[in-house]
Amino acid sequence: MKIAVFSTKPYDREYLDKFNRDNKHELIYFEAPLNIDTTNLAIGFEGVCIFVNDKIDKKTIDKLSEIGIKLIDLRCAGFNNVDIGAAAKQKIKVMRVPAYSPQAVAEHAVALILTLNRKTHKAYNRVRESNFSLENLTGFNLYGKTVGVIGTGKIGTAFCQIMLGFGCKVIAYDVKESEKLIAKGVEYQTLDEIFKNSDVLSLHCPLNVNTKHLFDRTAFSKIKKGAMLINTSRGALIKTSHAIEALKNEQLGYLGIDVYEQEENLFFKDLSESIIQDDLIERLMAFHNVLITPHQGFFTNEALDQIALTTLKNFTDFENELPLVNEVKL
């Protein structure tokens, strides 16, 4: 297949080319994101391959249909940036990588917890300047703490298992409870109970109409004062302005995010010589108890291998009219 690959970085090319050695598929790489303004780049292609911050709304899909695109393949698990209904109407198939390395994202969530708690990032900077003081580096034992997990799919399950290993009490919320996790000691509770009882909350649910701004002013008012909130899922699960309020009034004790509501204008870019125009993220970065990483939870060798392999398999399955096991449907 001839595929236009959008929002590409050097590592995308490296891993896709690594598993496309026989050139079974003709991959043409574009650094530009795919949206209504860049659809002309896809003229002459059979399919497009996109990432988390490409904007595939109805107008974009209609335009893709006009130029003959038959496949939209996401090299990620989430698909909230694609209008699935509009794609179905235009008979464009949508595929994704449903599971590449749940452990990669789960482990990154734990890294955020440990860094925020034990302040290793601050200690590192201090020691680099020959400052060996322990002042203001106090943390807390994770052992025995209550960790609330919202969403117990593959990533949430991996995260639960890690936290159980730390000796934490793990409570969870999901519309579908996992018998395997229950057998391991995870206790399912209502959302309000999760808010009330958790010392640490970690988000592992998809973004949809029911979960958008799940953490707003109301939710923050219900959490245990001083609790830690971790988000490695999708940025819009948290209403950023309300999180800032909760940080200012010390209702929220710590915030660790690998995703951000307006990340498409920031993440995956080097803006070190630019003036950041996003006042909300600038405010977040000013808090000493906030840790932000640039959507790197998936960024391990194992995950990148699996993303590339599954993405290429999706192309092959579509081209050969095989069952589309990774198809996204309404």
Token pair recorded at residue 241: 């302005």
One-letter amino acid of 254: Y
Q: Is 295 a catalytic residue?
A: yes
Query: Which one of 234, 242, 261, 264 is the catalytic residue?
Result: 234
Q: Where are the alpha helices (DSSP H) in 249-300?
A: 279-286
Taking the C-alpha atoms of residue 304 and residue 122, their distance in angstroms, rounded to an integer, is 29
One-letter amino acid for residue 64 of the chain: L
Residue 319 annotated to the active site = no
List, edge to edge, every strand of the sheet that includes 187-188: 187-188, 169-173, 146-150, 200-203, 227-231, 252-257, 290-292
What is the Cα–Cα distance from 113 to 34, expressed in whole angstroms? 34
* Selected catalytic residue, list 25, 96, 242, 263: 263
Distances (CA, A) of 222 to 71, 98, 195, 197, 215: 43, 32, 6, 10, 10
Residue 283 is among the residues annotated as catalytic for this protein:
no
For residue 252, list its beta bridge partners.
Answer: 227
Q: 107: how many CB neighbours lie within 10 A of its CB?
A: 16
User: What residues act catalytically?
Assistant: 234, 263, 295
